[in-house]
Homo-oligomer: A and B are copies of this chain.
């Protein structure tokens, strides 16, 4: 095995990856060239193409690393919250803080899959990202002893992704709180155990 990278090589690779992630997020994949990435990262194109065979694969590596980091962060942070429904809702509290960060422009995964519509590798990373997200939510919901966890997890994910989109378009963070309130109601309905419909409620 000679394909292991030395510490300094890892540092160069990471520097390029971090710079690319920041620029891609700020302005979009198509609007940022490799020349700008290496200039900003104080690296050379030779280094970039040593670690990433093409711009496409640089984008894929960036997105994979980002998805992994977000997933680990969510797992760790929600584990700190008190058990029960509050732990499920803690996901929304994390997101509300995230949305409020200056320069928030929506979910990196969603933006990147939109930027690179024809790339099946990017699409696969995005599908995996959503699947892991649902898996995390489902686990937290089951821990809270709530029924119909798979469906609830899928529904909460809709609120999360919707809030991310609306926040980035509206420029306000209200959508985060709206999503949390909606999630609270959906969880409450599940705790009541029934499947009330509009008709049945009349």
- Please give the residue numbers on chain A whose beta carbons come within 8 Å of chain B beta carbons, in ascending order: 26-28, 30-31, 85-86, 89, 105-106, 110-111, 113-115, 117-118, 123, 126-127, 130, 151, 154-155, 157-163, 165-166, 168-171, 174-175, 178-179, 181-182, 184-189, 191-192, 196-202
| A196 & B202 in contact (Cβ 8 Å cutoff) | no
23 residue pairs A–B, Cβ–Cβ below 8 Å: A26-B117, A27-B118, A28-B115, A85-B199, A86-B198, A89-B198, A106-B114, A110-B114, A110-B165, A127-B169, A127-B170, A130-B170, A155-B159, A158-B159, A158-B162, A158-B182, A159-B162, A182-B182, A182-B186, A187-B198, A188-B189, A188-B201, A189-B189
Secondary structure of the A side of the interface?
helix
> Measured between alpha carbons, how far is A174 from B27 in the docked complex, in Å?
31
A71 to chain B, nearest CB (A): 16
